[in-house]
Structure 1
Amino acid sequence: MKAFVFPGQGSQYCGMAKDIYNAFPQAKAVMDKANDILGYSITDIMFDAPEEELRKTQYTQPAIFLHSIAVAELLGKEGVDMAAGHSLGEYTALCFAGAMSFEDAMKIVARRGELMQHAGTRNPGSMAAIIGMKDDVLDELLKEAGETGIVQAANFNSPGQIVISGEISAVKKAVELAPLKGARMAKELPVSGAFHSPLMKPAEEELKAALDAITIHDAAIPVCMNVTAEPVCKAADIRNNLVLQLTSPVRWTQSVETMIAGGVTLFSEIGPQKVLQGLIKRIDRNVTIQGIDNAEQIQQQLSL
Structure 2
Amino acid sequence: MTQPENKGLWAWLFPGQGSQKIGMGRRLLEHSGAARRVFDEASDAVGMDLVRLCLEGPSETLTATENAQPAIVTCSVACLALLQERGIEPAAVAGHSVGEFSALVAAGSLPLAAAVRAVRKRGQLMASVTAPGKMLAVMGLEGARVSELCRDAAKHGVIAVAIHNSPQQFVLSGSLTALEQFKELALVAGAKECVLLEVSHAFHSPLMAQVQEEWQAVVASLQLRMPKYPVVLNTTAMTVKTLVCIRRSLLEQITSPVLWMQCVQSLVNRGITHVLEVGDSKVVSSLARRTAPSLQAMTLQDPAAVDGLGEDWNSSIPKNS
Q: CA deviation at 1:162?
A: 0.8
- 1:292 corresponds to 2:307: no
Q: Percent identity?
A: 35
- Provide the rounded CA distance (Å) in 2 between the counterparts of 1:249 and 1:74: 31
Aligned counterpart, 1:105? 115
Aligned counterpart, 1:66? 74
RMSD (Å), alpha carbons: 1.5
- Provide the rounded CA distance (Å) in 2 between the counterparts of 1:139 and 1:229: 19
CA contact (8 A) 1:134 1:160 kept: yes
TM-score where L is the length of structure 2:
0.90
CA contact (8 A) 1:219 1:235 kept: no
Aligned counterpart, 1:96? 106
1:117 aligns to what SS in structure 2?
helix
Q: Residue 18 and residue 167 in structure 1: after superposition, are their counterparts in 2 closer, same or farther (change >3 A)?
A: same
Alignment of 1:39-78 (within 5 A): 39-76=47-84, 78=88
Aligned counterpart, 1:167? 175
TM-score where L is the length of structure 1:
0.95
- Provide the rounded CA distance (Å) in 2 between the counterparts of 1:103 and 1:163: 30
- 1:184 corresponds to 2:192: yes
Alignment of 1:267-278 (within 5 A): 267-278=275-286
Query: Of residues 243, 247, 264 in structure 1, which corresponds to 2:272?
Result: 264
1:232 aligns to what SS in structure 2?
coil
Aligned counterpart, 2:315? none
Of 16-25 and 235-244, the range deviating more from structure 2: 16-25
Count matched residues: 302
- 1:35 corresponds to 2:35: no
Alignment of 1:76-155 (within 5 A): 76=84, 78-119=88-129, 122-155=130-163
- Provide the rounded CA distance (Å) in 2 between the counterparts of 1:84 and 1:246: 17
- Could you tell me which runs of 5 or more consecutive residues in structure 2 were left unpaired when the two chains were aligned: 1-8, 313-321
**CA displacement, residues 79-121 of structure 1 (integer Å, 9 cap, x when unaligned):** 41100011011110011101111111111111111111112xx
Q: CA deviation at 1:233?
A: 4.0
Of 289-298 and 43-52, the range deviating more from structure 2: 289-298
Q: CA deviation at 1:57?
A: 0.7
- Provide the rounded CA distance (Å) in 2 between the counterparts of 1:33 and 1:19: 19
- Provide the rounded CA distance (Å) in 1 between the counterparts of 2:102 and 2:71: 11
- Provide the rounded CA distance (Å) in 2 between the counterparts of 1:55 and 1:233: 34
- Provide the rounded CA distance (Å) in 2 between the counterparts of 1:39 and 1:172: 40
